[in-house]
Amino acid sequence: MAKGRIFLKLVSRLSGVGLLMATLMLQAAEAARLNDIRVWHAPDHTRIVMDLDRAPQFKHFYLADPARFVVDLPGFGLSTRAPEKAKSGPYLKGIRIGQQNPTTARIVLDLKVNVKIKTLLLAPVPGFQHRLVLDIYPKNPLQKGASSQPRATSKNIPLTSPPSKTRPQPAKKVDNTIIIAIDAGHGGEDSGARGRRTKEKDVALQIAKRLQKKIDAQTGLKAILTRKGDYFISLRNRTRVAREAGADLFISIHADAFKNNQARGSSVYRLSLRGASSENARLLADKENSADLAGGVNISERDDTLAKILLDMQWDATKNEIIPFADEVLKELKKIGKVHSPSVEKAGFVVLKSPDIPSILVETAYITNRTEEKLLRSASHQEKLANAILIGTKNYLKGSSYHTATLK
C-alpha cells in the first residue's frame, strides 16, 4: 500500500510538471512575434527598428560593466535572429536576442560609448507592421565611437531624448561659392518606390553622388548631400541640413512609380501652396509626403513653423527664382530622353518648403517601367541624368540674381 501511495504521488508530480510545460508551450505558441530587427547607421545616430505583430508593452533598463541596454517584450516570441549589420555601428558592439522566458523576448544592445536612447512606437502603415524604434545618440558627440563606457550604476536608467535642436541658422559664407544641396530621396526604413530589382532610395543616392561629383568639379560651385548613405532622414531635417550648410539651391532626386507599368519619362516639380497642377502631381506629392510615416517619424511632433514662414513675402521672391530654375533643368532632361510632362508641375511637397532656398524635385524616370528601371540601374544613364541636372542648374545661374560666381 505504501509503495502504491508513493507511486501515485510521483505520477501526480510528473503530471503537474507536464501540465506546467504544456501551459508554457501553449502560451509561447499564442504569443505575439518579434518578426524582424533592422539597423541603420546615420552619421549622428544609429536607428534600430523592430517589427512586431502587435503594439508592445515593453520594459527597458540599463546595465553596466559591460555597458548594455536591455529591452524586454512581455507576451512576445521570436521569429528572427540578431542582425549582422549591427556589428559595424559606431555606438554598438552588437545586438543579442533570445527568450528571457517562454513568454518574454529580450533584446540586448552591447554598447561602445555613453549613449542617449529615444524610443518611438509606430502604428502600422502600408507595408509595415507595428514598429518599436530605438534611436541611439552619443552623450558626447565629440567622442563618437570611443571606447569609454557609461559610469557603473545599479539603477535602471530611463530612456532620454537627444539634445533639443535650435532653429537652424545658415552657415556664414567665406567667399562667393554657390552651395547646392542635393537630396537623395527616401533611405533606411523608407525604400521609396520599387521596381522589379530596384529600390528608389538606392538609385536616388547613386545619382545624387554623381551629381555632387560633377558640381564639385565646377568653378564657384559646391555640393552637399542631405544623406550620404542608406539611412532615414525626415523631410523637415532634409531642409534643415540644407539651411545649416547655407545652401543657395536645393535639388531633391527621386524615381517615380505608377500602377500602369507603361508610364515613363522624367518630370520636374516645384512647390505649390495652392493645390497641384494635375491629379498626378497631387498623388505624387501625397506619396512623397508620406515618407516620414514609412521612415519612422511621429508626425504629431511636427511644427508649423515653416508653413507660417511660407506666408512671408520672402516666399514670393524665392518663387520667382524657382520657376526659371525648374524650367532650365526640365529643358536639359528633354534632351536625353522622354519627359512625362512637357512643363514643370507643382504640388505641395513638404521637402520643398524652404521659403529662402529655391527648391525643385526631379523624378528621374519611372522605376515601375522595365525599360526605365534598366536605365536607372545603368551607370551611363545615371551620368546623363546628373549631367542634365548640372547643365540646367548652370544655365539658370548664369541668368539669375543668385549668380555670384564665375561658372565655366
Could you read off the pLDDT of 361-378 as tens digits, one per residue? 999 999 999 999 999 999
Residue 156: pLDDT band by 50, 70, 90 thresholds?
very low
pLDDT in tens, 256-292: 998 888 999 999 999 987 778 778 878 887 778 778 7
The pLDDT of 170-181, averaged and rounded, is 76
pLDDT in tens, 236-261: 899 999 999 999 999 999 999 988 88
Question: Higher model confidence: residue 395 or residue 172?
Answer: 395
**Cα(307)–Cα(328) distance, rounded to whole angstroms?**
27
Count of other CB atoms within 10 angstroms of residue 61: 14
Q: How far apart are CA 32 and CA 70, in angstroms?
A: 19
Share of residues in the chain with pLDDT > 70 (%): 76
Domains defined for the chain, CATH in brackets: 30-140 (2.60.40.3500), 178-398 (3.40.630.40)
Tell me 371's DSSP state.
H
| 330-340: pLDDT as tens digits | 999 999 999 99
pLDDT digits (tens, 9 = 90+) for 81-114: 888 766 667 888 889 999 998 889 999 999 988 8
| Residue 163 pLDDT class (50, 70, 90 cuts) | very low
Question: CB-side exposure of 278: number of CA atoms within 13 Å?
Answer: 13
Query: 397-405 — which CB contacts under 8 Å span 24+ positions?
Result: 397/178, 399/324, 400/321, 400/324, 400/325, 401/321, 402/178, 402/248, 402/249, 402/321, 402/358, 403/178, 404/176, 404/178, 405/176, 405/177, 405/178, 405/219, 405/220, 405/221
pLDDT of residue 85: 67
| Residues in a beta bridge with 289 | none
Cis peptide before 66 (omega within 30 of 0): yes
Q: What is the pLDDT of residue 1?
A: 52
> Comparing 300 with 44, which gets the higher pLDDT?
44
Q: Which of 14-23, 24-33, 120-129, 149-158 has the lowest mean pLDDT?
A: 149-158
Query: How far is residue 77's CA from residue 375's CA, in Å, rounded to a whole number?
Result: 43
Task: Give the mean pLDDT of the chain.
Answer: 81
Q: Return the number of other C-beta atoms located less than 10 Å from residue 370's C-beta.
A: 15
For the cut 50, the answer to whether the pLDDT of residue 14 exceeds it is no
pLDDT at 277: 72
